[in-house]
Chain A
Amino acid sequence: MSQQTIDFTLNGVPTRVSVPVQMSALEMIRNVAGLTGTKYGCGEGECGACTILLDGVSLNSCLLFAVECDGRQVTTVEGLADDPLGRRIEKAFVDAGAVQCGFCTPGMVVQARQLLERTPHPSREEIQRGIEGNLCRCTGYVKIIDAIEAASKE
């Protein structure tokens, strides 16, 4: 199993890890870097629970090879604690009742972060489209949409 050493920035921290070349970014973030906020939900890019920001762009980390993080900025949900917009979104999720079992929540929050950066004042339909790649089984999405809308109005 060939290994590769990569250097990247993980939530602002310069990071060097050695990973098998076929390892996913999700596995690397969870099992090598030890950050468990990014969740495994399906492993095939269908549920969005593993959403991260790569150079500020959201994607499913289960579909990304860890080695592709080399030289780039990786932001996970843990990294949003240092980000004013991220914190605003998290608070809005709490206040709007957008969290039940909470398993999809980190992915939703990261996806919302990208949505609001690109579209600071989205319509409800734009919010719905913006999170269509993130599945939630508990909430029926209403309060998640409410939360993102509220965060956009602050």
Chain B
Amino acid sequence: MPETIQRDSLIGKRITKLDAPEKAGGKTRYIQDLDVQGQLYGKILRSARVHAKIKSIDTAAAKALPGVHAVITAADVPYQRPIGVAKDHFPLKTDRVRSLRDEIAAVAAETEAIAEAALKLIKVEYEDLPVLADPRDSLKPDAPLIHPEPHGASAKHDHLKQAQGIAYRGKPDNIAMTFDYEQGDVAAGERESDVVFEDTFHLHYVTHCCMGVSGIIAEFDPSGNLLMYSNTQVPFLHKREFAEILNMDPARIRIIQPPIGGGFGSKLDIYPFEPITVFLAKATGRPVKLVFTREEEFLASPTRQPVILTLRSGCRKDGTLTFRTVSTLHDNGAYTSWGATTPFVMMQTISSLYRVPHCLYHTKAVYTNNPYAGSFRGYGNLQATFAVEQHMDMMAAAIGMDPLAFRLKNAQDPGEVTPQGMHFKSCGFKDCLTTAAEASGFSAKFKANEADKAKPGRFKRGVGMASMLHVGGGAKIYPSDGCGTILKMDDFGSVTLITGASEIGQGSETVLAQLVCEELGVPLSAVRVINNDTEITPWDVGVHASRTTFIAGNSAIGAARKARGKILDAAAKMAGLNAEELDLRAGHIVEAKNGTVVMTLAKLLRQLHFSDKAELVMTSFYYEPPSKHQDKHFKGDVSAAYAWATQVVEVEVDTDTGIVRLLKVTGAHDVGRILNRLGLEGQIEGGIVMGQGYALTEELMVENGVVRNPGFRDYKLVTAPEIPEMDVRFIETMDGEGPQGAKGVGEAPAICIAAATANAIYNATGVRIMALPFTPEKVYRALKAKEQHH
């Protein structure tokens, strides 16, 4: 035993991910790799039409196929209830299909091949309806209704359920959701303006492309309890929703999350394939496994919200922002998922990234027969930032101000409470701006490129910047934004941390373990994290909104501090010292002032346990952040902390081909405090490349409701040779509420790239493109249009 131990800390170090060795060795079992004894394989028959009435479904031949255990349609599950954010969506479609992904029937069979063969034997008769492929058409007075209100006997029968909000209601128009926000008086703001711009920005369809496709295994145990192996990011919300759909006692539903092959927001909602698999398990009395093909993943998993955004903004000659008016049209697709609610985040960027006295914001999320949009890393912020940050550059140019100086003049400071009610207790925005600009040599390059723009030459260099504001301390969307932790110590000094937080590859289990080590003075190897079983783990609202490090981190710290208190009190009694004089270091109780070892932690734990006053060190803690729900005007301090970033992008534009190459990204991120430098860098680098894909290469092409490129061959993800050089700087603002001062960062790095790239292309060529993505064809056409114009 050492005589003295000095205090050591893991905070800020490069800590390798706890589950990395098993993943690198190919030993990790994802949902695709799990099999349950006796399982059947589920497959879904999707619509062959974009918008049609279902006249008849004939499943007789499919049912007769040897090896088929069940074929189900909506008629077989009269108990099914509508799912999703607006409860506008039956898992199995009843009388009509509204998009090409729509689920008509499902099969459970002994092998996947038999299930697929059975699908081909199902005959469906359709009666086509007119297709709405453009949200602008959906708003026309004569537009067909996508969700006509139910009528007749079934409507009456459903009256009670409708009143309870659990039955399908229909809509008298094609508007799924609206959001209206106002601060100040935009007309007054416009009168004060010397410069006003109005432009319409077009944001396209992209999808998550998690490397692990969607999947689920559902089974009922002998007592009739439902067990699901699921990739969900929101196990506890899921449990509640499944209880509603199945009219089951939630206590009898258990969700186990195997390691998840990528999330990025795609697993935040409940999707039809999940209840359908449960229906199949119920129909067959057997466990049923259903895993998507990649094509199915492209066709039937959610997308980022496509938006048509019109922005009108103004400023004075001195560079003061005066007003912003925004109206957006969200293509909701055929059903409502989280994509419709992205205005929650978009309006924060509009109102509060910079100081703007007057703002008006309207959104209509409109039904079409297109794929429906869900939540995707950034949650509307990429779209809002794309517009806002292009206008910032345009206004700066119009008043002859440097883009950096213009932003600095309007940037938020610590302590600010914005008209929307967001309180920036820590705010490193100006540091982000100056750090990114200085590290990249922004101002000099910007001027040099400006000067080179008119000179002859095929290749043009451009530099552009964009900044972002995003929630960094959770987001109070649900009744609680909290997370529970149970912490127990064994008599060898090891810690089991049982957290409600989900791990989707972002490294939460490692950061949570680090935070516990910091309190309990144990090595990382002494901590085991349990985070994937609703029967064991305490409640958490889910992994979204960049919240896990902040919320689950504070929860883990809370539980660890209680354990620390217990241990030190007991040790103080045994050693005849005060608890304040003691510390926990490297698995030992030591004297805080000089590190003199008093005893090993394991020995103390054993003495507590095996005594006449036997006690185990087990604690629990529930952390609820001190944030507020927005009021009905969308005002309120919705997060306990806010994250900031500035990214400078350097591009080379080939004016002969329209190819834009991303050369370098310099990012400065206000992360509060670095907890795990290795994991943090990984989040930023991955986010930058995801942003690069959004800006340059990725587009889910949807024509008349049909996805034209459901595969990696035609949906172009960024590959290794295409990534830019990256220079990432961290601004530590030591947030007062954050765990060890940290703020959330998961979504932040993806948000600015498209906006900064747009500004860089303009700096290189003088051509401003307001529609994504910047494909060679689009850039080439824009360059040629400009040439002809001159």
Contacts and interface: CB of A to CB of B under 8 A. Distances in A.
Interface string A122-154: 000101110111111111111111000000000
Interface residues of A, number: 54
A135 B713 CA distance: 12
A136 B209 CA distance: 9
B529 to A, nearest CB: 16
Contact of B26 (A91, A100, A106, A137): A106
A102 interface: yes
A59 interface: no
Interface string A90-114: 1101110111111111100100000
Contacts of B688: 140
B787 interface: no
Contacts, number: 175
B685 A143 contact: yes
Interface stretch (A2-10, A43-51, A64-72): A43-51
A135 B259 contact: no
Contact of B294 (A42, A97, A145): A42
B319 to A, nearest CB: 35
B721 A101 contact: no
Interface in A1-51: 30, 35-44, 46-47, 49
Interface stretch (B428-436, B502-510, B730-738): B502-510
Main secondary structure of the interface of A (DSSP, over half): loop
Contacts of B505: 100-102, 138
A50 to B, nearest CB: 11
Interface string B8-33: 00000010110111011111111011
B682 A44 contact: no
Given A41-B211, A97-B682, A101-B504, A135 B26 contact: no
A80 B682 CA distance: 25
Interface string A70-97: 0000001110110000000011011101
Given A41-B211, A129-B721, A141-B720, A100 B25 contact: no
Contact of A101 (B29, B212, B713, B719): B212
B482 to A, nearest CB: 25
Contacts of B663: none
Considering residues B19, B25, B678, B713, which has the most beta carbons from chain A within 10 angstroms of its beta carbon? Answer: B25
Interface stretch (B260-268, B468-476, B550-558): B260-268
Interface of A: 30, 35-44, 46-47, 49, 76-78, 80-81, 90-91, 93-95, 97-106, 109, 125, 127-129, 131-145
29 contacts: A35-B26, A36-B26, A37-B25, A41-B213, A42-B711, A43-B293, A77-B26, A90-B25, A94-B17, A95-B16, A100-B507, A101-B210, A101-B261, A102-B20, A102-B23, A103-B30, A105-B23, A106-B23, A106-B24, A128-B720, A129-B720, A131-B720, A133-B719, A137-B210, A137-B690, A138-B505, A139-B689, A140-B723, A141-B689
Interface of B: 14, 16-17, 19-21, 23-30, 32-33, 208-213, 259-264, 293-294, 504-507, 678-679, 681-682, 685-690, 711-713, 717, 719-721, 723, 726
